[in-house]
Chain A
Amino acid sequence: MSGKHVAKNQPKTFTFSSENIKKMKEILSKYPETRKKSAVMPLLYLAQKQNEGWIPLVAIQYIADQLDVPYIKVYEVATFYTMYNLAPVGKYFVQVCTTTPCAIRGSGKIIEMCKKHISEKEGHLSSDKKSSWIEVECLGACVNAPMIQINDDYYEDLDADSAEKIFKSFKDDNLPKFGSQKGRKGSEPIKQRLTLLKN
C-alpha cells in the first residue's frame, strides 16, 4: 500500500491505559510465558485503538519492551500488515476497496471523490484534520460493490453522488446510516421478489 508511511511528528511517550493494561494481561495469558511474543498483533491493535487509530513509534517500543523482543521485530510486523496505521488517521478513516469487483462497479469514481473532498494524497489527513482515506484490498462485500469502510462501518452500493454525500457529511458529524446506500437490506434484490415463497 503506497499510502502507508511513518508519521514525522511522533508523541514522546506511550503507555496503555489502565483498562488496556487489563486487556493486555488477558491477551498475554493466552500464550505460554516463553511464547509471549505471539501477542504482538493483538497488542498492536490495542495500541492503535487507544491512540486514535494509529500506532506511534513509542508504542512499538513500549510493546517490544512488554514482550521482551527487539524493537525491529515489532516494527517489522507493524509495517507488514496494512491494517496497522503508522501515521495519524482522521476521525473518519475511509478505506476504499479497489479490488476487481469494486473496480468494475466504479470504485475509481469514489477515489476521485476522496481526492476531491478528503485529501489529494492517500494516507494523509484532510485540511480540517477530520478525515483521511486509503485504498485497500477486498473487504469482502463484493455483492454490494462498490463499497467503503468508515471506521468500523461498511457503506455499500455507492456511486459518485452517494459517496460525495457521505464525505460532505463529515463536516457536521452527521453521517448517513451505514449499509447499502440504495436502501436495500443486506444484499437482497432491489426490485425482484425477495423469497421463493412470495410472488
Chain B
Amino acid sequence: MPKVKVDGIEIEVENGISVLQACEIAGKEIPRFCYHERLSIAGNCRMCLVEMEKSPKPVASCAMPVSEGQVIYTNTEMVKKAREGVMEFLLINHPLDCPICDQGGECDLQDQSVKYGGGTSRYELNKRSVKEKYMGPLIKTQMNRCIHCTRCIRFAEEVAGVPELGSINRGENMEITTYLEKTLDSELSANVIDLCPVGALTSKPYAFEARPWELTKTETIDVMDAVGSNIRVDTKGWEVKRILPRVNEDINEEWISDKTRYACDGLLINRIDRPYIKKDGKLIECSWDEAFLKIKEEVSKTANVGGLVGGMVDLETIFALKDLLIKISGSASIDFRQKDFYIDPSHLSNNLFNTSIAGIDESDLILLVGANPRLEATIINSRIRKNFINKNTEIFTIGDPGDQTYKIISLGDNLKVLKDIENNNSIFSEKIKTSQKPIIVIGESVLNSKQGRFVLETSKSILKKNNSLSGLNILHQSASSVGAIMLQAYTNTNEVLKNEILYLIGADEINIDTKNKFIIYQGTHGSKNAKIADVILPGAAYTEKNGLYVNLEGRVQSAFKASFPPGNAKEDWKILRALSDVLNKPLKFNTIEQLRSKMFEFNPALQRIDQLPSIDVNTLEVENVEVIDSKVNYLPIDYYHSNEIAKSSKTMLECKIARQSLQKTGTEN
C-alpha cells in the first residue's frame, strides 16, 4: 500500500488507483471532464492536472497511477495556471449559449469555468461550427458545445455494448458521431445524456421544458421492470418533467434504461382522472359515491369476487385488495399472474434472483435459460456484460435470445439440454465443475405450466450438485411479482377469472371474457381492460403515491410521492379503504402506517427495507421431475410498450419506430 502526500496530508492508499482518486481520498477536489469512475481512462481533457514533486511538468492525475512517496500539490500557482490554461483552450470553440442551453445550471463546464477558469478569453478568431448529428429520438445534439471528452464513446463501447459512437477527423475538425448518423441501438442509450459534461448531448423529450432549479426532486424507485432501479423524479407542479438515475451500487450503479427514463411522459397522457360507470354500453363520468354504490349493488348479489393485480402495483394495494376480498367472500380469490406462469411459492428462494444483482459481478459462469435479459431487465444485462468485459466469463444460453451485447454460447434450444447437464452429458457440465460461482438465470418465457417445474427443479439440481444453490435466479419482468408472492396473492388465474365480479387493479395484459361479468377496473390509464369495465376507479401511478415494492432480488424498496394523482384520482389503497366502508366491511386501517404494520404482521420479511432477504437458499429442496422434451419459446417482448405508462408515452412510441426502422434497414449495409 503506497503512501502519498497530498497538499501535506499523508495518506495510505490502495495499490493501483490513480493520483486523482488519491487526491479525492485526501479530501481534495480535482476538476475533470473526461474522467469517470465507471469508464476507462482517456486522459484527454487535461483538466485534472496537478503538480507532482520531481516532475517538471504538471501531470494528468486521472491517468497517473499512485506510487510510493509521491508528493502531490493541488493548490499551487502552477496548478492554478494549468487549469486556467486548459479551461481557456476548452472554451475557445465552446459557444457562449448558456442562456439557451438545457445543460445550464447542471453543467460541469459552466461550474468549473466559474471555479477554475481565467474569466476572460484572448481568442479573437471565429469559433468553429459543427453540424448537429442525428442520434435517435432521445438524444438531442448540439455538437458546437462538444469538448471531446469521449465519455459517450466509452460508455457506448464499454457499458452499453454498442460500439457505434466514434470520433471522426482530427485536430480542430474532430467530431463525435454515430456511424453514418444512425440511432443508437441500445436500451441504455440515454445515459450518455447524464455523462455528457456539457450541453452537447441533451435530452430531446425534455428540451426547453424546465431549468434544474425550478424542479422539485423526489428520490424514489422505478417500476418499469422488476429491477427496481433507483431514480430521482423531477417534477414541476403536477407534471413529471424527467427521471434521472440515482446511484445505488447494489442495483443500477448509476445507469437506468431508456424506458425507465422516458416512459414518464406517459403519466400525462390518457389518464383516468375521474370515476366512470357503464350505462347502456357507454362509460359515463360519475362521482365516487355513484361508483361505490354501483359496486355495492353488484356485491350484494354475489360474493364471488376475484381480484387481479397488474405489474406496477405496490404492496399496500395488493394487501388491501386481498384483505377486502377476504372480507367480502371469506377467502381471497386473487392473483398477479396475467399469463401462464409457473411459480413454486413453497420456498421464497424459488422466486428470487438469489445471486443478487451485485453478485453477478463475482460470478464466473452464467447460463441463461429462456431469458432475454437485454429486454427483460436491461440493468441486469449491463451487469452481465460488465462481468463479461472484466472477467471474460463464458455465458451459455438455452434458446436464442438474440444479441445481448456480449458473446453467448448456445447449447441448443431444447430444454432437455438441462437434463443432459445434470447427467454430465454437456460441455456445460464440465464447466460448472470447475466453476466457483455459477449462476443460472431463468426467464419467464420458460416458466409456464408445461415447462416451468422441470426447468426450476433441474436447475436447482444442477446447482445443488455443485453446492452453489445461491446461483438460482428467476428473472421476473414485473415490479409487483415478487411482492405479490410474498403477500401470497396467488391462487390460480383461471379460477379467479371464473368469478362473477372481477376487480382489476392495473391488470392490463390479460384478455377477459366479459360475458355475464361485472368488471371493476382500478388503474391509471385508459387501457384495453379499462374499456371493458363496468366501473372505473381512477388510481395513482407509481410517482403519485408512497408505496413499497419488492424487486426481483427480494429487496423491499420505498417509492415516494413526487406528484399527485390527476383530477379526482386517489391513491389505490385509499380507494379500497373507502370502498370497504361503503360495502359495510371496513378494513382495519386508516393510515398507511397502520396498513403497513398490518402487512408487516402478515409477512415480517417485508420490514427489511433496502436490504436483501435473509433467507437461506441452501434449504431449498430439490425434487426429481420427468424430462421435458420441448423447445424454448420466447414470449414476445414489446420493449418500448411493455406497460400502460409506456404505451401512452409519445417518446416510447418514437423509440419503437426508430428501432423498427433500424432493424428494417439493418446496420450491416
Contacts and interface: CB of A to CB of B under 8 A. Distances in A.
Interface in A1-27: 2, 4
A79 B180 contact: no
Nearest to A78: B168
Given A57-B180, A61-B669, A70-B179, A75 B163 contact: no
Contacts of A79: 168-170
A170 interface: no
A4 B165 CA distance: 21
Contacts of B178: 72
A71 to B, nearest CB: 5
A80 B179 contact: no
B166 interface: yes
Nearest to A12: B669
B163 A70 contact: yes
Contacts of B669: 58, 61
B167 interface: yes
A80 B166 CA distance: 11
Given A57-B180, A61-B669, A73 B163 contact: yes
Given A61-B669, A70-B163, A76 B180 contact: no
Contacts of A61: 668-669
A75 B182 CA distance: 14
A56 to B, nearest CB: 13
Contacts of A70: 163-164, 166, 179
Contact of B166 (A2, A57, A58, A72): A72
B156 to A, nearest CB: 9
A4 B166 contact: no
Nearest to B667: A71
A179 to B, nearest CB: 32
B663 to A, nearest CB: 17
Interface string B164-190: 111111100100001110000000000
Contacts of B180: 57
B164 A75 contact: no
Interface in B542-597: none
Given A57-B180, A70-B179, A76 B164 contact: no
A75 B169 contact: no
B168 A76 contact: yes
Given A57-B180, A61-B669, A71-B179, A76 B163 contact: no
Contact of B164 (A4, A57, A72): A72
Given A70-B163, A72-B163, A4 B169 contact: yes
Contacts of B163: 70, 72-73
Given A57-B180, A61-B669, A73 B169 contact: no
A174 B34 CA distance: 54
B572 to A, nearest CB: 47
B169 A72 contact: no
Interface string A39-82: 00000000000000000011001000000001111011001100
Contact of B170 (A71, A75, A80): A80
B435 to A, nearest CB: 24
A79 B173 CA distance: 10
Contacts of B165: 72
A172 B168 CA distance: 38
Chain B interface size, under 10 / 10 to 19 / 20 to 34 / 35 or more? 10 to 19
Interface string B137-179: 0000000000000000000000000011111111001000011
Contacts of B667: 71
A131 B169 CA distance: 24
Interface in A98-133: none
Contacts of A80: 168-170
A40 to B, nearest CB: 13
Contact of B179 (A2, A4, A75): A75
A121 to B, nearest CB: 17
A69 B154 CA distance: 15
Nearest to A64: B179
Nearest to A79: B168
Nearest to B668: A61
Contacts of B164: 70, 72
Nearest to A60: B179
A79 B165 CA distance: 14
Contacts of B169: 4, 79-80
A85 to B, nearest CB: 14
A64 to B, nearest CB: 9
B501 to A, nearest CB: 56
B524 to A, nearest CB: 41
A184 B178 CA distance: 51
A144 to B, nearest CB: 28
Interface in A79-98: 79-80
A189 B462 CA distance: 86
Nearest to A4: B169
A58 B170 CA distance: 22
Nearest to B180: A57
Contacts of B166: 70, 72-73, 75-76
Contacts of A72: 163-166, 178-179
A73 B166 CA distance: 7
Contacts of B173: 2, 4
A80 B169 CA distance: 5
Contacts of A2: 173
Interface string B652-669: 000000000000000111
Contacts of A76: 166-168
Interface in B100-119: none
A67 B669 CA distance: 16
A182 B180 CA distance: 47
B88 to A, nearest CB: 24
A198 B372 CA distance: 85
Nearest to B164: A72
A27 to B, nearest CB: 23
The 4 lowest CB-CB distance pairs between A and B, nearest first, are A72-B166, A70-B163, A79-B168, A72-B179
Given A72-B163, A75-B166, A76-B168, 4 more contacts: A71-B667, A73-B166, A76-B167, A79-B170
12 contacts: A4-B173, A58-B669, A70-B163, A72-B163, A72-B165, A72-B179, A73-B163, A76-B168, A79-B168, A79-B169, A79-B170, A80-B170
